[in-house]
Chain A
Amino acid sequence: MINKKVQNVEEALQGVEDGMTIMLGGFGLCGIPENSINELVKKGITNLTCISNNAGVDDFGLGLLLQKKQIKKMISSYVGENAEFERQMLSGELEVELTPQGTLAEKCRAAQAGIPAFYTPAGYGTEVAEGKESREWNGKMHILEEAYKADFAIVKAWKGDEAGNLIFKGTARNFNSCMAGAATITVAEVEELVPAGELDPNEIHIPGIFVKRIFKGEQYEKRIEQRTVRKK
């Protein structure tokens, strides 16, 4: 067993520097690497390019990094939940690359799988296609999209073991699963970290080969963005 366990978030994020490109898992606030985001805020790393489907809300998730102006460029598909984000973007302080969600996911998976580029129909005939090669396949127009290149991928899982194997829960899997192994260094934070051998190999969602460092997150707030319920 190759041991991927590190003691804490400080050790897990060693080597993160100003100006780096970082992938962060999560959809909305669901499945975001809370402990690592807090550490990036604490470390005061700046000029970051962040690849993340959303940008958090004003006071949680990536919104915390935006507040401190630590992000230079955001690559996302939907940013409607964050007023500070919209302000920085419309004023030109923040560079933003909006990408169709499926394309964003596939650009991560392509990086993970060693595929440099792929064709997709998403965005053909729109602003997204500007400056990109287009080509007809099976009678339909597609555009060429390239895999991301990132320094760090930071993902969050439900359970993990010392070998770096990951299991996700519910819809918190989202981009975490696509980003694992898609950057030079992948850091996984988990709610529960167990010794190798305790997770059933049949149940692993992401094999440890895609993970460089794994640690147990100290605490999880798991904030709910839209609490929708019905009466009993």
Chain B
Amino acid sequence: MLDKEGIAKRIAKEVKDGYYVNLGIGIPTLVANFVRDDISVEFQSENGVLGMGPFPFEGEEDADIINAGKQTITTLPGASFFDSATSFGMIRGQHVDLTILGAMEVAENGDIANWKIPGKMVKGMGGAMDLVASAENIIVAMMHVNKAGESKLLKRCTLPLTGVGCVKKVVTELAVLEIVPEGFKLLERAPGVTVEEIQKATEGNLIIEGDIPEMAI
């Protein structure tokens, strides 16, 4: 079974040379730490920066330079700043190659819910609805089951949707799954996890074809 860093490490392997990548808050943010350093990648943050770098050194933080998680950041050579409309122009116009975000629920038809629990938690969708509606390549990073032990990979989402039919791939602490017309196709198992354990944790239709390899991290 993977921890959050493990999930981020596995997703980092999906990041290819020449990609512009938008990272959501939470596990997706960690992905930046594990991208191979022999490829050229630029990270976009929807609040208006492309070419995001690591956190600043102590004492060098600048209130005017933050990421979408409101964390102080730095920029790398080649970086640029822009306004919010331009930022979402990059996203809506499909100039961003890969979007990695978290979710509360994903359904076997590619629907995603991650912004609201009616009556309990309403933080808002932020940029998530724009991202999932526009991006061609969306990977969800999340835990396979919730704190109550219930599957988050469902036949249909129960929470208010963020987007419909948009998720292409899901990486959890247990598995890598691809969304195909018939449901969740199991691609890889996390180290030490059996296909049966993944089956048990997946409410949506799980497609198992042949031997499922253990993921290499």
Chain A residue total in the interface (Cβ 8 A): 59
Total A-B contacts with CB atoms under 8 angstroms apart: 185
A68 and B122 alpha carbons, distance in the complex (Å): 22
Given contact pairs A102-B88, A175-B83, A230-B57, A169 touches B48 in the complex (Cβ within 8 A): no
Q: Are B127 and A228 in contact (CB under 8 A)?
A: no
B91 beta carbon closer than 8 Å to chain A: yes
A132 and B43 alpha carbons, distance in the complex (Å): 33
B26 beta carbon closer than 8 Å to chain A: no
Given contact pairs A78-B126, A174-B48, A230-B58, A121 touches B92 in the complex (Cβ within 8 A): yes
A78 and B68 alpha carbons, distance in the complex (Å): 11
- Interface residues in A204-232 by Cβ distance below 8 A to B read 205, 222-232
B195 beta carbon closer than 8 Å to chain A: no
Which one of A123, A170, A227, A230 contacts B64 once the chains associate, using CB atoms below 8 Å? A170
Report the minimum CB–CB distance from B23 to chain A (whole Å): 14
Q: Are A89 and B122 in contact (CB under 8 A)?
A: yes
A106 (CB) vs chain B CBs: closest residue: B85
> CB-CB < 8 A to A153: which residues of B?
none
Chain B residue total in the interface (Cβ 8 A): 54
A104 and B128 alpha carbons, distance in the complex (Å): 13
> CB-CB < 8 A to A230: which residues of B?
54-58
A116 beta carbon closer than 8 Å to chain B: no
B58 (CB) vs chain A CBs: closest residue: A229
Binds B, one of A1-9, A14-22, A23-31, A194-202: A23-31
> CB-CB < 8 A to A27: which residues of B?
47-48, 66, 68, 70, 84
Chain B residues proximal to chain A, CB less than 8 Å:
45-49, 54-73, 81-85, 87-88, 91-92, 111, 115-116, 119, 122-130, 133-134, 160-164
Q: Which 7 A-B pairs have the closest CB atoms?
A: A102-B88, A80-B123, A102-B130, A177-B83, A125-B164, A100-B129, A105-B84
Task: Beyond the given A230-B55, A231-B58, please list 4 additional residue pairs across the A-B interface where CB-CB is below 8 A.
Answer: A90-B119, A100-B125, A227-B72, A228-B73
